[in-house]
Amino acid sequence: MSETFRLQPLEIEEYRLENGLRVVLNRDMAVPVVALAVYYDVGSRNEREDRTGFAHLFEHMMFQGSANVPKAGHFQHIMKAGGTMNGTTSSERTNYFETLPANQLPLGLWLESDRMRSLAVTQENLDNQREAVKEEKRLRYDNQPYGQIFDLINEMVYKNFANSHSTIGSMDHLDAASVEDVQEFFRIYYAPNNAVLVLSGAFETETAKQLVETYFGDIPSQPLPPSLDVAEPEEVAANYREWEDKLAPFPAFLLGWKIPQRRTPESHALYLAGKLLYDGDSSRLYQKLVKGEESVIQLFGFTDERRGPSSIFVGAIPKPEKDLSKIRETIMHEIQDLAANGPTPDEMQKLHNQLINDAVRMRQSSMTRAQQIAEFALYDGNPAIINNELDELLSVSPDAIRTTVDKFLNTENRALLDIVPAGKG
């Protein structure tokens, strides 16, 4: 099935404004909706060691108003127009996105251009958004069982500060930040020549181009941000750590491996290996640990794909009285089996069906299309990769999966974080 399956290529047109803004248009008239995605080339990887948390702070600041939009006005305009919107921060980028009825495209472009041009970086906004970030950290990290474990394992996997520190950052650093620090960060990273704008959905191309030029064309470019070194040694930073979690009801553990950067042949093979190991109810580890041994309350795993060295994580919360080391043995046994024998023909067929299903579903959402196109444009310099990626993944051989798992996962070069409830270390 997979060998003959071909998706219709998406219509992709890419160009630049004179100020350096990269614009990608994906016209699709199937539904009278348009999605806008603005991706700024700034994430936690770009932060100074004494100013962590700035990329995420800015995600909050971007909703605090600009020259022509009052505080919280962005939300109100989008909601009243029948749209949805949000923004997120990662190690790699900060993004902002809206889905709107097609006739509201001018509104979306006006809102995004106004804050790119004239964000209100004031002492008052800095103070209240600092407090909002602190509250988010308390709710999502400090006061949640297991809330800090992914930040901790990143520090164990990566040695380079650009890669290892958390996106939420240090509250002390945010407290020490002046409004001048924040204005400088905005000037450097929130420039049109450091951003990608993607439109996906129902629009007339020439009209869209005129609107983009009208709203974004006169925003001045800035000198490019400082260059960034995300290089890593092959070995992980630390092999073992025990962490006492005062809120955890049960012990847990998390394993982490360092793997090559995204969009390399090895990273494709490891992404597929991850799907075989932990993605969904039919995955090997779910079948073994949840269905078979019935030894875990929760199993989790994911591939953190980055432009530099990346990682794979697998972890579990065992049922009471279940042996953590036995569960880890099962995980390593499945990795060893995949490294020795590779995936079975049945697993490959299931994998291909999953990949095709995922690709078809992705294309049905203008917002998912816009975000994927923006990632390929920003990270890889080529938005048209969206038309090749399924073929690339379908062409990965069972033997490539086997050898890559053997090289990167079937190894002692991994981090183990043991999480113990308070007083049980």
- Single out the residue of 358, 383, 361 nearest to residue 373, CA to CA: 383
Q: Which residues pair with 197 in a beta bridge?
A: 23, 38
CB neighbour class for 230 (10 Å; exposed up to 12, middle 13-18, buried from 19): middle
Q: Count other Cβ atoms within 10 Å, centred on residue 159.
A: 17
Q: Are 380 and 314 in contact (CB under 8 A)?
A: no
Residues 169 and 107: their CA atoms lie apart, in Å, by 33
pLDDT digits (tens, 9 = 90+) for 398-411: 999 999 999 999 99
Report whether 59 contacts 94 (CB < 8 A).
yes
3-state secondary structure of 372: helix
Cα dihedral sign, 19-20-21-24: positive
Question: Hey, is 195 helix, strand or coil?
Answer: strand
Phi first, then psi: give them for residue 131, nearest 5 degrees: -65, -35
Residue type (1 letter), 266: E
CA-to-CA separations, 255 to 137, 140, 239, 324, 343, in angstroms, rounded: 24, 21, 9, 12, 22
Query: In the chain, what are the domains?
Result: 13-216 (3.30.830.10), 240-421 (3.30.830.10)
Find where tokens 């990662």 sit: 90
Place of tokens 């939300």: 75
Structure confidence at residue 423 (pLDDT) = 75
pLDDT tens digit string along 317-330? 999 989 999 999 99
What pLDDT is recorded for position 2? 45
The amino acid at 261: Q
Q: Indicate the residue type of 179.
A: V
Helix (H) or strand (E) holding 245: strand 240-245
**H-type helices in 279-382, by residue range?**
284-285, 324-341, 345-363, 366-380
Q: Are strands 252-259 and 310-318 parallel, antiparallel or unpaired?
A: antiparallel
Pairwise CA distance, residues 375 & 382, whole Å: 9
Provide the strand spans (E) within 13-78. 13-16, 22-27, 33-40
Residue numbers in the chain where pLDDT is lower than 70: 1-4, 424-425
Buried b (16+ CB within 10 A) or exposed e, 88-105: ebebbbbbbbbbbeeebb
Q: What strand order describes the sheet that includes 415-421? A: 240-245, 415-421, 252-259, 310-318, 296-304
pLDDT per position as a tens digit, 68-114? 999 999 999 999 999 999 999 999 999 999 999 999 999 999 999 99
Q: How far is CA 286 from the centre of its chain?
A: 24
- Quick check: helix, strand or coil at residue 193? helix
From the list 405, 15, 422, 406, the residue with the least C-alpha distance to 206 is: 15
Dihedral, 319, 320, 323, 324 alpha carbons, nearest 10: 60
Angle, helices 54-61/179-189, rounded to nearest 10 degrees: 90
Residue with tokens 């049922």: 319
